[in-house]
Structure 1
């Protein structure tokens, strides 16, 4: 593999990692602060993708679609938290799993009813179309570079929000001792609603961004949700920094594994077998990475070590 192709795959891994960060940051906030196992988080990713696709096709503006994706996912998150999730905080995790799994079915069938069973396709906006020449002789798509940049800016924004604002102080305090901040007069129900809406909005934004790179279809959120869980296990539950590092590790491991392993096996296997074996092993790499992290850091790279 040439150096230019390797650098291109590294950039692809960063882009994939930034998308996973948007998905997993909301998930780790919800689980860390609210103690909620939310299997329906991937449904908000799907809602964002369909909202963006629908508005973009109706108006011709991808950027209006992004706004619609954020709004639709956040509003859906508020409604779900107030009508369903709020009743689950004092229940055990099995009840949370069953209830949020039921929400997956509701959202999937509701989306199928509104948009049909056929996939939708989004075009890259003209402003971000084309490619840009990078050092090393790489012509890389502008849109993918914009995704990397936007993910980095959002990561900085989340770090600032959690670390340097009054809301962030309450979020961190709610993660540490929710009973205490409730006793101090903080409206815990309102805080939970804000955190849940923030998490679902980030998931919706991730779905909207990916809508131009793959088809928008019912059930598209569940495979990404599995990877998001892997990310927060690697990074540590409740840690935004862990979500970012974990997402980048997973993105790079998955992308480079799918690129390098078939080439490595091609040295002693026929091309068709090398591709099959390399692709199969590449899909296992992120889980091997997770297992390796858990061996040495059971709480994740940046998770709190619990006594």
Structure 2
């Protein structure tokens, strides 16, 4: 493998890892802070992608689609938490699994009713529809670099929100001891609504920005859900920093595995997870 090919695969692995982080960060927040096993998290990724296709077709602008899709997804997440999830915080995990598993079928059926079962393509914005030449025959799409940049900006924003703000302090306190935090006057229900809406918004943004390179198709949320859980388990449940490190590791292993050892590429990520859990049963980082 020459340097140009290595650089392309490295950029692809980082871009894939950052996209996984967008998904896994929301999942680990919901799971680690609220204690909810959300199997429907991949559906929010799918909803974001379909909103990107719908608004791009309607308005002709992916930028507007990102803004509108994100706002609608956050509002939908807040509504969903208020209507359903807040009633399951103290229920068994089996009840939560059954609820979220049922939501997968509901979202898929609603998707079929509103948008049909066809595969759709989202056009890359004309301003970003070009490539940076690396050699005479190889180049790298600018849109993929922009995707990585957007994910990095959002990752920094999420870190600052959780670590440097009063809201983040309340979120961390609620994750550490929910009852004590509530007894100190913190509206824990409001915090849970914010966390759930934030998690849904992050998953939807991932779907929106990935739609031009991954297409939009039925069942696309299920294909990323398992990988998201792998990232959460490797990074440590409830740890945003762990989700970032684990997502980048998974991106590297998956991308270079397919190039260097395609015979075992399908299980390389799970071998990584088994190796981490063998020495760090709680994941790389504790909450």
When normalised by structure 1's length, the TM-score is 0.91
Cα deviation, 1:53-87, whole Å, max 9, x if unaligned, reads 10001110000111122122212211211111111
Q: Is it true that 1:141 corresponds to 2:141 in the alignment?
A: yes
In structure 1, the partner of 2:209 is 209
Deviation at residue 163 of structure 1 after TM alignment: 0.3
Cα deviation, 1:129-183, whole Å, max 9, x if unaligned, reads 1012459995211001111111111111111000000110011101100111100
- Trace 1:265-284 onto structure 2 (pairs within 5 A): 278=263, 281-284=264-267
Preserved contact between residue 236 and residue 301 of structure 1 (Cα < 8 Å): yes
SS at match of 1:213: helix
SS at match of 1:80: helix
- Trace 1:264-303 onto structure 2 (pairs within 5 A): 278=263, 281-303=264-286
Q: Is it true that 1:39 corresponds to 2:39 in the alignment?
A: yes
CA root-mean-square deviation:
1.4
Ranges in structure 1 where 5+ consecutive residues have no aligned partner: 263-277
Cα separation, 1, equivalents of 2:198 and 2:249: 24
Deviation at residue 224 of structure 1 after TM alignment: 0.6
Deviation at residue 212 of structure 1 after TM alignment: 0.5
Cα separation, 1, equivalents of 2:241 and 2:109: 35
Q: Is it true that 1:61 corresponds to 2:51 in the alignment?
A: no
In structure 2, the partner of 1:196 is 196
Cα separation, 2, equivalents of 1:14 and 1:30: 24
When normalised by structure 2's length, the TM-score is 0.97
Deviation at residue 214 of structure 1 after TM alignment: 1.7
Q: Point out the structure with max Rg over C-alpha.
A: 1
Cα separation, 1, equivalents of 2:79 and 2:218: 21
Q: Is it true that 1:159 corresponds to 2:159 in the alignment?
A: yes
Cα deviation, 1:234-270, whole Å, max 9, x if unaligned, reads 11111111010010011111011001114xxxxxxxx
Preserved contact between residue 4 and residue 136 of structure 1 (Cα < 8 Å): no
SS at match of 2:261: helix
Cα separation, 1, equivalents of 2:150 and 2:166: 24
Cα separation, 1, equivalents of 2:266 and 2:73: 29
Where in structure 1 do 4 or more consecutive aligned residues deviate above 6 Å?
Answer: none
In structure 1, the partner of 2:49 is 49
Cα separation, 1, equivalents of 2:279 and 2:127: 45
SS at match of 1:218: coil
Ranges in structure 2 where 5+ consecutive residues have no aligned partner: none
Cα deviation, 1:190-229, whole Å, max 9, x if unaligned, reads 1100000000000000001111012212211111111010
Cα separation, 2, equivalents of 1:118 and 1:298: 42
In structure 1, the partner of 2:30 is 30
